[in-house]
Structure 1
Amino acid sequence: MTADVWLPIPPEEIAGLPQGPAYRFWDGGEEFPADPGDCAVYVVPYMKPSELCVRPMARMRSVQVVQTLTAGIDHVQPGLKNLRAGVRLCNARGVHEASTAELTLTLVLASLRGIPDFVRAQDRGEWLSGFRPALADKTVLIVGYGSIGAAIEDRLTPFELARVARVARSERTSARGPVHPLTELSSLLPQADVVILSTPLTQTTRGLVDADFLGRMKDGALLVNVARGPVVDTDALLAELRTGRITAALDVTDPEPLSPGHPLWQAPGVLISPHVGGPSSAFLPRAKRLLVDQLTRFVNREPLRNVILTTGSADA
C-alpha cells in the first residue's frame, strides 16, 4: 500500500519535502488524486467550505495525520467522527499570526480614525475633517489569548495604550502580564474601549458575544472580530449597532459570505473585510515551511508540532 500525502499546494512548488511518501495534489477538485484509503497525511485545502474539506475523510482508512493550514479546526471537526482512533489533528500555529495581527491593527485604526468615512467622502469629492478617536490612551481587551492574541498585543504595544487586558479559557500568566479566565469577562467588558475577538470557535465560544456581552460594553466601544463569525450572535450585534452605541469591525461574519442584501452591509458603524486575516503574502512561505517541517518529522517518526487532539482519546 502506498503511503500518500495529499497536499493543497503542488508538491513541486514546495522546496525541501522529504523523500519517501507519494505526494498527491488536491485542492478540493471533484476528482480525488488517488485512492483516499492510501492517504497517510491529509493536508486540508485552505479556505474551502467545510463540506468539501471533510468529503474524503470517511474513506481515509489509513490516515495518520490531518493537518490544517488554518489556526482554527472547526471546519474539519465534522469529519473526525469518520476517522479511526489514533489520528492526530494538527493546526497551523505559526503560519497566520503575523498576517492576522496586521489586519487586526488595520481594522482597529481604520475604524477609530474613520477611514471608511474618508473613502466615501473622497468618492463624493468632500473634505471631511474633524476630530476622531485615537488608539493612544485606550484600554484594549483581547478575548482569546493564544498565539494570534499574543501577536496582536505585540503590534499594539507601540501605540501608547492605557491598558491591555487578556482573556482565555483558563487563567495563567503570560510574558506581558496576567491572562484572565472567561469567568471574569463580564467584569472586564465595561472597562474596554476596544474588544478584540481572536478566540477559536468551540462549544464554549459559539454565541459568546450575545446581547448580554454587547450590553456590558461601554458606550462608544469598538468590537473587532478576527476569530470566527459564529462567536458573535449576528442578530444581537445588529440590534446593538442600530442604536449607535457601539461600532464594529468584522473580518468574519455569520453567515459567511454575507449575501448582497444582508443587513450587516448597511448597519451603521460597521467596517467589513471578507475574511482576509490569513490570506496574504505572508501565508505561502510560512505554510510551506510548516509542511516541510511536519512531513520531515512524520517521515523520521519524530513528534509532530501543533497537535490539537488525537481521535479516540479524551481530548477529541
Structure 2
Amino acid sequence: MTSTNLIVVTSVERDTFLVDGRLEELKGLVAPCRVVDVESYSQESWIELLRETNPKILVAGWKVKPLPVNTRSAIAPALEYICYLPGSIRHFVPRELIEEGVQVTNWSSSISRIVAECALLLSLSCMRRAAYWAHQMHDRGGWKDATTQTQSLFDRRVGIHGFGAIAKELLRLLRPFTNEISTYTEGVPEAVFEEHGIRKVDSLERLFAENDLIIELEALTPERHKIVGEKLLRSIPEGGAFVNVARGALVDEDALVRVAEEGRIQVGLDVYSVEPLPPDHPFRGCRNINMLPHLGGPTTDRRRDAADRALENLRRFQRDEPLRDAITLEVYDRST
C-alpha cells in the first residue's frame, strides 16, 4: 500500500507558522506529500483521507480533526510520526497510538520564552495597576492625585508555582528585577533547583504567604483542580499580586473574584476555566484584574519558532535520531 504524507494546516496557520520558506522546506522533508486545509472536511471525510493517503508522517495544526483509536490498525497502518505544530494534543491524538509506538511531538519548549514574556507583562501590569488606570483614563477622564499608590517589581519577593520550561525562562526575565525568587512544585529533583539557583520552599502555603507576587505556572492534573483556593489567595500579603498564565482550572475562580473585588491584591489573568470567557463573567469589570484573552504564546509573529522546532524534529526523524521533547506516555498523562 502506497503512502503519501499529509500537511494539514489552515491558510492562517500556513501564513503564520510556515513563513519565509518554511512551507517549502517542510514539503521537501516529507515528500511525497499533500497539503490539506482540513476545515472543509467532516470527520468521515477526514478518516477517508487518512485511509486514501496512509501517511507515514502527519504534520498538523489547530483545526485538524481527531484521530480514531484504530488509526494504526484499520485506517492508516503506515503512520509512524505525528508532528503537531501547536501545543495540547490530547484532543487530537489518542493515548493508544503512543502505546502502539507512534512518535508525537508538539511545540513544547519552543514557545516557553514567549509565555514567560506574557507572565512578566501581567506582573508589571499588576504592579502599576494598568487595568485600573486604563479604565480611569479612557472612560473616566482620570488622573493621578496625591493619594495615588504605585509599586515597582524591583526587589519584590516573587514565588513561582511550578518549575518547568516556562518557569526557567521566566527566571531569566525576572532576575534583572529581583533575586528574591522562590518556587514550589512536586516531582522535580533537587539538583534542578540548584542548577538554576532558585530556592524551593517546602509547601504551597509558604510560597503564597511569603511572596509579594505569585506567578502560576503549574501543570494542570486532576489532583490540582482548583488547588489555588481562597485561603491561599488571602495569604498573599496585602498589596501583592497573583498572575495565572498556566490553566484557569488550577484556581477557584469564584474565590479569586471575591478576593480581587475587595482590593487586597492585584490579579493578572491570561487563562480561564471556560474559554472564551463569557461576556457576563464577574472577572469583567473588576478593575483589580488585568486580563488578556489567552494570548500567552506564541504571539503571531513567533509561531515560526514552533515551525522551526517541527522542522528540526522532522530532520531528526528522517535521520532516525531521538526527537526533541517527544510526547511520551508519561508526558501525555500529565498534559492538559
TM range (shorter): 0.7 to 0.9
The letter for the 2-side match of 1:138 is: R
Q: Does structure 2 retain, via aligned residues, the 8 Å contact 1:58–1:83?
A: no
1:199 and 2:214 equivalent?
no
3-state SS in 1 of match to 2:280:
coil
Cα 1:4–1:216, aligned 2, differ >3 Å: closer, same or farther? same
TM-score with structure 2 setting the length:
0.79
Could you say what the CA RMSD is over the residues aligned between the two structures, in angstroms?
3.0
* Rounded Cα–Cα distance in structure 2 between residues aligned with 1:162 and 1:145: 16
* Rounded Cα–Cα distance in structure 2 between residues aligned with 1:210 and 1:315: 21
Aligned length: 307
1:66 and 2:82 equivalent?
yes
Q: Does structure 2 retain, via aligned residues, the 8 Å contact 1:5–1:41?
A: yes
The letter for the 2-side match of 1:35 is: L
Q: Pick from 36, 46, 50: which aligns with 2:50?
A: 36
Aligned counterpart, 1:168: 185
Cα 1:288–1:162, aligned 2, differ >3 Å: closer, same or farther? closer
Cα 1:144–1:217, aligned 2, differ >3 Å: closer, same or farther? same
Instruction: Give 1:34 shift.
Output: 6.2
Cα 1:42–1:239, aligned 2, differ >3 Å: closer, same or farther? farther
* Residue deviations 1:84-123 (CA, integer Å, cap 9, x gap): 6222332322321222122111111112112222222322
Cα 1:204–1:39, aligned 2, differ >3 Å: closer, same or farther? farther
Cα 1:57–1:217, aligned 2, differ >3 Å: closer, same or farther? farther
3-state SS in 1 of match to 2:283:
helix
Q: Does structure 1 retain, via aligned residues, the 8 Å contact 2:269–2:292?
A: yes
Aligned counterpart, 2:23: 14
* Rounded Cα–Cα distance in structure 1 between residues aligned with 2:302 and 2:213: 27
1:121 and 2:136 equivalent?
yes
Aligned counterpart, 2:123: 108
1:91 and 2:106 equivalent?
yes
Instruction: Give 1:133 shift.
Output: 1.1
Identical aligned residues as a percent: 25
Instruction: Give 1:59 shift.
Output: 5.5
Q: Does structure 2 retain, via aligned residues, the 8 Å contact 1:166–1:180?
A: yes
* Residue deviations 1:133-173 (CA, integer Å, cap 9, x gap): 111121111112111111111111111x2500122332423
* Rounded Cα–Cα distance in structure 2 between residues aligned with 1:26 and 1:88: 23
Structure 1 stretch displaced more, 136-145 or 88-97: 88-97
Q: Does structure 2 retain, via aligned residues, the 8 Å contact 1:14–1:288?
A: no
The letter for the 2-side match of 1:156 is: L
The letter for the 2-side match of 1:149 is: A
Aligned counterpart, 2:309: 290
Q: Pick from 134, 144, 150: which aligns with 2:162?
A: 144
* Rounded Cα–Cα distance in structure 2 between residues aligned with 1:80 and 1:28: 24
Structure 1 stretch displaced more, 95-104 or 150-159: 95-104
Q: Pick from 235, 244, 259: which aligns with 2:278?
A: 259
* Rounded Cα–Cα distance in structure 2 between residues aligned with 1:217 and 1:40: 51
Instruction: Give 1:290 shift.
Output: 1.1
Q: Does structure 2 retain, via aligned residues, the 8 Å contact 1:88–1:310?
A: no
* Rounded Cα–Cα distance in structure 1 between residues aligned with 2:239 and 2:89: 33
The letter for the 1-side match of 2:61 is: P
**Bigger Rg, which one:** 2
Structure 1 stretch displaced more, 285-294 or 79-88: 79-88
Give ranges in structure 2 of 5+ residues lacking alignment: none
The letter for the 1-side match of 2:113 is: A
Q: Which has the higher helix share?
A: 2
* Rounded Cα–Cα distance in structure 2 between residues aligned with 1:314 and 1:240: 33
* Rounded Cα–Cα distance in structure 1 between residues aligned with 2:164 and 2:315: 26
Greater RCO structure (CA 8 Å; 6+ sep)? 2
Cα 1:230–1:213, aligned 2, differ >3 Å: closer, same or farther? same
Give ranges in structure 1 of 5+ residues lacking alignment: none
3-state SS in 1 of match to 2:257:
helix
* Residue deviations 1:202-233 (CA, integer Å, cap 9, x gap): 22433221233323322222111111111112
Aligned counterpart, 2:176: 158
TM-score with structure 1 setting the length:
0.84
Q: Does structure 2 retain, via aligned residues, the 8 Å contact 1:208–1:233?
A: yes
3-state SS in 2 of match to 1:264:
coil
* Residue deviations 1:246-291 (CA, integer Å, cap 9, x gap): 2211000111111111111133511110000114144222122111
